[in-house]
Amino acid sequence: MKTLKIAIQKSGRLNEKSVELLKNCGLNFENYKSSLISPVSNFPLEILFLRDDDIPEYVQDGIADLGIVGENVIRETEVKVSYLQRLGFGKCSLKIAVPNTNEIESLADLNGKSIATTYPVILGKFLKENNITADIRTISGSVEISPGLGLSDAICDLVSTGGTLKSNGLKPFADVMSSEAVLIGRAGSEDEDLVKELIQRIQSVLRAKETKYVVLNVLKDNLSAILALLPGVKSPSVIPLAEENWVAVHTVIPERDFWDRISQLKQAGAQGIVVMPIEKIIL
């Protein structure tokens, strides 16, 4: 039987969440810090631990079948791979930022200016699309200090909390792209049975993360009002209680409007509400 290879970041922002996702899929492996490859004992899969910049090309060239990497890196390396699943972590934006004291106010003000970045390809395309001629200074890190050192007028780098920009006296100025970690595959790999199986497992973990399992008690007289508020995977389960005229309702509730839904349920007569995390939802 074929053994798949999946490439994930060896260390850095995406390593921990990538390992956690694969472990939550029920895959057993050692998160070796010293080794670059780790076999999975209960699925035909090997995990390659790589620098994130190398992951898209490894997948494009078929050295790895799958990879977990930020969309920003995929766009920068201009590879041809299949996007298989957005993963909901590593969320950030690539932005152009300028010193707080700078008088750059519109994109056109960037004409003739210099911009330091580790993303010359994405930035180059963005400037071209906006008819801006600027000097792109490609550096390999610590981009935020370059205006302070007199190396550039502006920067283009990843931002999430904005803390790094702030502490370097910079303000965000224009959004170039937003990004999150994605599962990518070699073109055509999405048709293979093992890849389909792994995607299904990943989706069941992601689905579970977005929902909570809820059990509540309600008087039979109030049941229809409660059911009108609940979706469930198919529909809620209703189970009689030992006490007459009462039932227990079991259901799942989306995380995003969880507290609104709970207060509506309480108003409709729900009591003894118990909320539990869900490990997996398999449709």
Ligand X SMILES: O=P(O)(O)OC[C@H]1O[C@H](OP(=O)(O)OP(=O)(O)O)[C@H](O)[C@@H]1O
Ligand Y SMILES: Nc1ncnc2c1ncn2[C@@H]1O[C@H](COP(=O)(O)OP(=O)(O)OP(=O)(O)O)[C@@H](O)[C@H]1O
13 binds ligand Y (CB under 6 A): yes
| Nearest distance, CB of residue 115 and ligand X, angstroms | 15
| Nearest distance, CB of residue 12 and ligand X, angstroms | 6
28 binds ligand Y (CB under 6 A): no
Choices 70-78, 79-87, 229-237, 255-263 (CB under 6 A): range interacting with ligand Y = 70-78
Cβ distance 276 to 213 under 8 Å?
yes
> Nearest CA to 253 among 225, 232, 283, 274?
232
Choices 1-9, 51-59, 159-167, 215-223 (CB under 6 A): range interacting with ligand X = 159-167
Q: Which of ligand Y, Mg ion, ligand X, none does residue 90 bind to, with CB < 5 to 8 Å depending on kind?
A: ligand Y
Choices 100-108, 152-160, 188-196, 251-259 (CB under 6 A): range interacting with ligand X = 152-160
DSSP conformational letter for 279: S
Letters for 164-193 (x = contact with ligand X by CB under 6 A, - = none) are x-----------------------------
- Sequential DSSP letters for 50-81: E-GGGHHHHHHTTSSSEEEEEHHHHHHHT---
Question: Per CB under 6 A, which of residues 120..159 are in contact with ligand Y?
Answer: 158
150 binds ligand X (CB under 6 A): no
> Residue 74: which residues within 8 A CB-CB, separation 6 or more?
56, 81, 182, 184
Write out the E strands in 102-261: 114-117, 135-138, 154-159, 170-179, 181-185, 211-219, 237-240, 246-254
Choices 12-20, 30-38, 148-156, 272-280 (CB under 6 A): range interacting with ligand Y = 12-20
Round to whole Å and give the CA distance between 212 and 156: 39
53 binds ligand Y (CB under 6 A): yes
| Nearest distance, CB of residue 109 and ligand X, angstroms | 23
Q: How many residues of this chain bind ligand Y (CB under 6 A)?
A: 16
Round to whole Å and give the CA distance between 45 and 27: 9
> Cβ–Cβ contacts within 10 Å for residue 56, how many?
24
Among 25, 92, 155, 214, binds ligand Y (CB under 6 A): 92
The two tokens of residue 109 are 């003000």
The CA dihedral of 203, 204, 207, 212, to the nearest 10 degrees, is -170
Among 139, 151, 159, 199, binds ligand X (CB under 6 A): 159
Question: Per CB under 5 A, which of residues 37..66 are in contact with Mg ion?
Answer: 52-53
Q: Which of ligand X, Mg ion, ligand Y, none does residue 14 bind to, with CB < 5 to 8 Å depending on kind?
A: ligand Y
Q: Give residues in contact with ligand X (CB under 6 A).
A: 13, 141, 144, 157-164
